[in-house]
Structure formats: C-alpha cells, structure tokens
C-alpha cells in the first residue's frame, strides 16, 4: 500500500490513458452495435403511428363522399386521351380534396413535385426504378389478358395517376377507376379489377427515404362506389405457404408472426392490385372469408384478377398480413 507524502491516507489511484481509451473504444463498439437497432425500432414505431393515423383520416374522408365513381368519367373505348389523362386528378380535385386536407396536387407527369420518390424498394427487397404512373403500369392485369386466357372487362381503361400531399406531410399517388362497380359476393367467380375505385400508395415522409414498402411506403385501397370498403393490409415479406389448405392458415400465420393473420377478401384483392409493390407475380391465394351457406372460401387469383370460391381443403398460396 502506498501512502501520501505526509504519511496519512493511501494515495488515490487514477485511470491511465490506455485504460480510458480502452473504455471509450468499448463504449463506441457497443453504441455502434445497438444504436442502429434502437433507431430502427423508433422509426418502426413512428411509421406505425403515422400509418394508422393516415388510414383513419382516409377512411373518414372516403365515408363522407357520396360515391367514388364518375369523377372525370369518359366514354370507354373512345380515344379521349385528355379524359384518361385527367380522371385521377379530377377525382382528387373535385372529390377527395372536399373531405381531406390537401396541400398540393400534381398530374402524372409531375408526381415528383408532390414528393413521390423516383424509385422505391418493394416488399420483396427488389429496387423498382420508378413509380407506376398509369393504372396499367400499377397492375398490367387491368388492361391485359390474364395468364389463364381470361380477358379483363376493363381493358380499355388505362387512366393516368395523380399525386397529392397532405397537410400532415404524406406524399400519395392515386390510381383511379371512374367506372368501379358494387360488390358481387353472390356470384362464385368474378373479376376483382372493376371493384377497385381508388388505390392510394403513400410515402409517409415523401422522398426522404428509405422509400421502402413495409416501412415508410404502403397502400390504402377503396373498393365499391357506394358503401365503400377501405382497407390497408400490411403483408409480410414472404408467403407462409405455397401449397397450404385454408384450415392451416391461422396456425401458419401465427408461426410466421404472432401478430399476423390471413387477409380478408377485400384486403387480398388490395394486395392483388398492389402486387408490384409487394413483389408477388402470380398464384392463387387464400382469404379468410367464408361463405357460411356452402362452407366455401374466397380465393384471389394473382394470375387473372378473378375471385373464386373454393373448398377449404384445396391447396393455395398463403400470404399473411399484420393487424
């Protein structure tokens, strides 16, 4: 033991420079490991809060509109390109802006002026070089023949998109169908395409990034012109099964993520409309919707866009969504 010069208490022992530098190095390494995770968690919570708030505002706004179809409508089959170019913009200007606080509206040629990014990463992790600017670019099966040879009855309606910014800072691009139709649940097979009135793809923070579906980018879909249904499913990044029966959907979803479930019929159709943003190319998918009188389930074909009724024991793809 060392004593001070006056023979009293033991001399204090300080840290050496090497010890201080070693401690700072350890702190730096720990911070480098943990901070990205902490930042990611904070961002995730922020996006979830913003996403829910936007969905609530959009749902309330759609409910206040007397009907969703007919804005800027034109005669199908004609060469009225000016009408095709402006129907989505007319829908936002004459309809949505009356019930939702909107700061700025942009046509298809100037969507970047409303904060829409030049590119994005879809849910599958693939980079997409540009946002679709027409209904057909959003989903080719609005204007093309499906893989099974079925002809989509809306093949002549390839409207241009429009974009707008909300007062809360979200950038939204909208794909609009002025001739959307009511539900046909009593028929056991029909196309989902005519049921979509408006599909909104939002970016919660404009073009700041990360511009990734499932993070700051998502979609909200309004189906049916009156008594509209507004859905905003958050699909998981991969299928729970590529050949599952409906009876296994709940357990498969829970195994994948405890907060997930099978999508309902309208959520699944919204996923079909947005398959470019999700990264799905084809397949027949289960919904959770049951027709109690026949005990059959609704499927959604991503090859053609048709909704089918099928027996619970048959095999189909399963893609779960978060609550």
One domain for residues 143 and 291: no
Q: Summarize the confidence of residues 199-214 as an average pLDDT.
A: 95
Q: Summarize the confidence of residues 151-169 as an average pLDDT.
A: 84
Asked if pLDDT for residue 199 goes beyond 80, the answer is yes
Return the exposure string of 300-320: e unless at least 16 CB atoms fall within 10 Å of the residue's CB, then b: bbbebbbbbbbeeebebbbbb
Q: Summarize the confidence of residues 119-140 as an average pLDDT.
A: 96
pLDDT in the model for residue 44: 83
Domain assignment present for residue 104? The answer is yes
Q: Summarize the confidence of residues 174-179 as an average pLDDT.
A: 94
Asked if pLDDT for residue 36 goes beyond 80, the answer is no
Domain assignment present for residue 13? The answer is no
One domain for residues 194 and 248: no
One domain for residues 128 and 182: yes
Q: Summarize the confidence of residues 200-217 as an average pLDDT.
A: 95
pLDDT in the model for residue 168: 93
Residue 264 phi/psi, 5-degree rounding, is -75, 180
Note whether 245 and 275 are within 8 A (CB).
no
One domain for residues 72 and 177: yes
Asked if pLDDT for residue 8 goes beyond 70, the answer is no
> For the CA atoms of 158, 214, 61, 180, what is the dihedral angle to 10 degrees?
30
pLDDT in the model for residue 149: 62
One domain for residues 87 and 199: yes
Tally of structural domains, the chain: 2
pTM for the full model? Answer: 0.85
Asked if pLDDT for residue 11 goes beyond 70, the answer is no
Asked if pLDDT for residue 99 goes beyond 90, the answer is yes
Residue located via tokens 């309004």: 222
β-bridge mates for residue 107, sequence order? 162
Asked if pLDDT for residue 300 goes beyond 90, the answer is yes
* Positive/negative CA dihedral, 182, 153, 242, 210: negative
CATH of the domain at 309: 3.10.100.10
DSSP 8-state class, residue 11: P
Asked if pLDDT for residue 262 goes beyond 50, the answer is yes
Domain boundary among 230, 263, 291: 230
Tell me the pLDDT band of 80, cut-offs 50, 70 and 90. low
Asked if pLDDT for residue 32 goes beyond 80, the answer is no
Q: Summarize the confidence of residues 37-56 as an average pLDDT.
A: 82
pLDDT in the model for residue 42: 67
One domain for residues 149 and 183: yes
One domain for residues 200 and 66: yes
Name the least confident of 13-17, 40-44, 102-106, 146-150: 146-150
Pick from 151, 159, 154, 145: which is nearest to 199 by CA?
159
One domain for residues 138 and 177: yes
Tell me the pLDDT band of 79, cut-offs 50, 70 and 90. very low
Quickly count helices (H) and strands (E) in the chain: 6, 17
Pick from 303, 283, 305, 274: which is nearest to 131 by CA?
274
pLDDT in the model for residue 37: 54
Asked if pLDDT for residue 154 goes beyond 70, the answer is no
Domain assignment present for residue 8? The answer is no
Tell me the pLDDT band of 3, cut-offs 50, 70 and 90. very low
74-78, 223-227, 312-316 — most confident range: 223-227
Domain assignment present for residue 1? The answer is no
Asked if pLDDT for residue 13 goes beyond 90, the answer is no
Tell me the pLDDT band of 207, cut-offs 50, 70 and 90. confident
Q: What is the pLDDT of residues 239-260, one digit of tens each?
A: 999 998 888 898 999 999 999 9
One domain for residues 214 and 290: no
Range of the domain at 272: 241-322
Residue located via tokens 């050949």: 243
Per cent of the chain over pLDDT 90 is 63
**Residue with more model confidence, 312 or 321:** 321
């Amino acid at each position: 033991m060392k004593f001070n010069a006056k023979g009293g208490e033991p001399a204090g022992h300080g840290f050496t420079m090497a010890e201080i530098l070693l401690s700072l190095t350890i702190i730096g390494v720990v911070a480098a490991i943990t901070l990205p995770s902490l930042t990611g968690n904070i961002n995730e919570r922020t996006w979830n809060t913003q996403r829910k708030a936007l969905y609530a505002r959009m749902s309330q706004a759609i409910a206040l509109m007397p009907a969703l179809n007919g804005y800027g409508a034109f005669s199908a089959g004609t060469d009225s390109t000016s009408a095709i170019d402006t129907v989505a913009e007319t829908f936002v200007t004459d309809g949505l802006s009356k019930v939702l606080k909107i700061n700025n509206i942009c046509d298809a040629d100037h969507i970047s002026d409303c904060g829409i990014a030049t590119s994005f990463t879809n849910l599958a992790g693939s980079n997409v070089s540009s946002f679709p600017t027409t209904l057909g670019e959003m989903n080719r099966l609005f204007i093309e023949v499906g893989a099974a040879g079925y002809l989509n009855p809306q093949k002549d309606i390839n409207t241009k998109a429009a974009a707008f910014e909300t007062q809360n800072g979200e950038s939204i691009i909208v794909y609009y169908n002025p001739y959307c139709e009511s539900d046909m649940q009593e028929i056991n097979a029909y196309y989902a395409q005519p049921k979509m009135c408006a599909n909104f793809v939002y970016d919660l923070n404009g073009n700041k990034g990360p511009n990734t579906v499932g993070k700051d980018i998502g979609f909200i879909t309004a189906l049916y012109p009156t008594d509209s249904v507004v859905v905003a499913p958050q699909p998981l990044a991969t299928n729970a099964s590529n050949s599952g029966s409906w009876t296994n959907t709940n357990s498969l979803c829970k195994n994948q993520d405890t907060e997930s479930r099978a999508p309902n019929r309208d959520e699944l159709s919204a996923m079909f409309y947005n398959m470019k943003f999700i990264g799905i190319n084809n397949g027949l998918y289960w919904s959770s919707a049951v027709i109690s009188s026949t005990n059959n389930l609704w499927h959604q074909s991503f090859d053609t866009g048709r909704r089918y009724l099928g027996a619970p024991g048959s095999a189909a793809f399963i893609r779960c969504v978060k609550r």
